[in-house]
Amino acid sequence: MKREFKSLTRNLLTYFILTSIMTVLLSCNPEEEKQAVRHLKIYHEPGRFGGWPANHGIWSWGDEILVGFCTAWYMDRGMGHAVDPDKPEHHVLARSLDGGETWELEYPEKQGALLPRGAMLFGTPLPDVEYPPITELQEPIDFAHPDFAMTFRMEDHRGGGQSRFYYSYDRGKNWEGPFALPLFDTPGIAARTDYLVESSNEMLVFLTAGKSDGSEGRTLCVKTEDGGLSWEFLSWIGPEPDVFRIMPSSVRLPGNEILTTVRKREGDRRLIKGWLSKDNGASWEFLADVAPDVGGGSPPSLIKLRDGRLAVTYAHRAEPYGMRGRVSEDNGRTWSDPVIFREDGGNWDIGYPRSVQRNDGKIVTIYYYWDPETGPERYIAATIWDPDV
C-alpha cells in the first residue's frame, strides 16, 4: 500500500511539474517574439508611388498619429525615383487612432490646403486647382495649443527657392496657410518639418539652406519669439560642408542642450552625424557619428523616448536594402549597433522615415518602401518595434 501511495504521489508530482513547464512554454508564444518588429502597409496602390514622409512631417497626441507623404504615379525610370513626371503629385495625410495599427487617408487638397508646388515636385502640380498665394502671417500662432501641429514645406530641395509653413489647431484636420518663411540671407531655404516648441510664442526651427554657391545644402537654426510673425537667424549648424549636410532631425536634451542629427555626404561616404548645442541653439559642436554608413544616403528621424534614451531610424540604401535603427543611452555620445528591422528592399529608393513613440513604449516608424514580393510600386509602410527587445 505504501509503495502504491508513493508511486501515486510521484506520478502526481511529475504531472504537476510537466503541467507547469507546459504552461510556461505555452505562455512564451513564439509568434509574440516575432512581433517585436512588425510591418504594416499604410498606403499601397497598384500603379502608384507613395513617398518621402520625411519631407512632410509626423505629429502625435498619445496614440493618435498623423503623418504626411506624397502620392504620384509609378514609372520605372532606371536609376531615378520611379515617378511619372507628367502626371500629378498629391500631398496626403494618414491618421491612426490606435497607435499605428490601423490608418485612414485624408486629402487636405480638398480644402485647398498643403497643395504640392514648386521645383521640388517629381510629378506635376494639380490640374484645375487654384493655388493660394503665399502670404505674410498676420496673427501670432499659439504654439502651446493642445491640438497644435505645424508643417514646413519647400519649393526646391536643391538649395534655392522659397519655403512656406502651415499650422493647425485641430490635429491637422484643417490648416491655415501658406505663410512665407524668410530666406535668412541665403540663396534659398529647403524647409522640412523639424521644430521645438519653447513656449506659446517661442519656437526653434531647424532647416536646410543653399550653400554660398547656391548648391545643396547646409543646416541652420532659426527662431521666433512672437508666434511666427517674425523670424531670426540663430546659427549655422557646423561650417559650410564640401558636399552637403542636410535634413536635420532634432530633440531637446536636459538644460539648454539640443541634439540634431543630419544627413551628410563626405566624398563617397554617406552617413548620419550628430551635432550638439549647449546654449539653446546659439552655437554647435560636432558630437558623434550616429550611423557611419547608410549606403546611398538617408535622412535620420531622431526621437527622445520617455525613459530618456534616444532612438534614431533610417534607411540603409545599399545592399542589403532595408530599414534600421539605433539607440543611445548617453544623450547621443554613443550609439548601439544597428537594429535591423528588415532587409528585403528592392533597391535604394526607400526610406525617408519619421518616428514617434506610442503609449505602450513601442516606436512607430513610417517610411516609403518597396520589395520584390509586393511589387515595384513604392508604398508607405509602418514598422512597429520595441526599443527594449
The separation between CA 222 and the C-alpha centre of its own chain, rounded to angstroms, equals: 20
pLDDT tens digits for 25-60?
334 444 434 468 999 999 999 999 999 999 999 999
* pTM assigned to the model: 0.90
- Rg (Cα) of the chain, in Å, rounded? 24
Q: Contact at 8 Å (CB) between 237 and 209?
A: no
Task: Copy the grid coordinates of residue 313.
Answer: 531610424
d(CA 370, CA 361) in angstroms, rounded, equals: 27
270: burial class by Cβ within 10 Å (0-12, 13-18, 19+)? Answer: buried
- Across the chain, mean pLDDT equals 91
pLDDT tens digits for 218-232?
999 999 999 999 999
Q: Contact at 8 Å (CB) between 142 and 133?
A: no
Q: What percentage of the chain exceeds 90 in pLDDT?
A: 85
| Of residues 153, 120, 108, the one with CA closest to residue 134 | 153
Give me the pLDDT at residue 284, please: 98
For residue 156, pLDDT beyond 90 = no
Give me the pLDDT at residue 296, please: 86
pLDDT (mean) for 208-217: 93
71: burial class by Cβ within 10 Å (0-12, 13-18, 19+)? Answer: buried
Give me the pLDDT at residue 35, please: 64
pLDDT band at 267 (very low <50, low <70, confident <90, very high): confident
pLDDT band at 306 (very low <50, low <70, confident <90, very high): very high
For residue 338, pLDDT beyond 60 = yes
Give me the pLDDT at residue 159, please: 66
Give me the pLDDT at residue 18, please: 38
pLDDT tens digits for 60-108?
999 999 999 999 999 998 888 999 999 999 999 999 999 999 999 999 9
For residue 325, pLDDT beyond 70 = yes
Q: What percentage of the chain exceeds 70 in pLDDT?
A: 90
Q: Contact at 8 Å (CB) between 365 and 351?
A: no
61: burial class by Cβ within 10 Å (0-12, 13-18, 19+)? Answer: middle
Measured in degrees and rounded to the nearest 5, phi and psi for residue 4 equal -65, -40
C-alpha distance across the termini of the chain, in Å: 54
Give me the pLDDT at residue 177, please: 98
For residue 22, pLDDT beyond 50 = no
pLDDT tens digits for 101-136?
999 999 999 999 999 999 889 999 999 999 999 999
